[in-house]
Structure 1
Amino acid sequence: MYQSYIWDFDGTLYDSYPIMLKAFMKTLKEYGFDPDPAEIYYILKDSSSKKVAEKYNLDFQEFTKAFKANEALDDRLPLSFDGTKETLEAVVAAGGKNYILTHRDVISTK
């Protein structure tokens, strides 16, 4: 068994994409765009939020600030996928360590 596991937060440990997608759609509409939600979802899963900003020729820093503000308006918390807790606990029980790789800040990850 491996001793160290690196997990991606969004879309791997937690189903955060519905909340993120809603905020991305709202932000893009505020910029005057009417994007296809399936296309935005694909870009986020395949690449990054930076690619979304690039697709619409938006300043990434400004877009991120607006997106994060819209995301903060959603009071839902992302839910972990079935089996996440048990998997992470099994790694620790076997003497391993879990690490998270994420673009999120510490507060939103906790």
Structure 2
Amino acid sequence: MKKVLIVDDAQFMRLAIRNILEKNQFEVAGEAANGIEAIQKYKELKPDIVTMDLTMPEMTGIEALKAIMEYDRGAKVVVVSALGQEVQIKEAVINGARSFIVKPIKEEHLVNTLNKILDINKSI
């Protein structure tokens, strides 16, 4: 089963993502409410893929993404963020994010995006 780390400061959003993923045969390895937790949990849990919000307290998603990519160049991170954050999304992709999903999340789009990234990397 594919292990996912969900990173978002909003508990309701983490729960919504968790529900979608568990319903679609993903294992939620853990959750983080900010970038600092995200880095710690990434190192501890070694997930197959991460969903990363950009706007969070203490450490932004961009800062956490950079730290995770520095720790593991092969990390698979998908940005999940609100409309109107195009500049930050572009910066995230430049810094290693594999894709991005705009909130509000559509179940099919989230599942397809994660599966596509995980499948691409199996064949490499």
Question: Relative to total residues, which structure has the larger helix share, 1 or 2?
Answer: 1
Q: TM-score, normalised by structure 2?
A: 0.25
Higher relative contact order (CA 8 A, sep 6+): 1
Q: Which of structures 1 and 2 has the bigger CA Rg? A: 1
Q: Which structure's residues are more often strand, by fraction?
A: 2
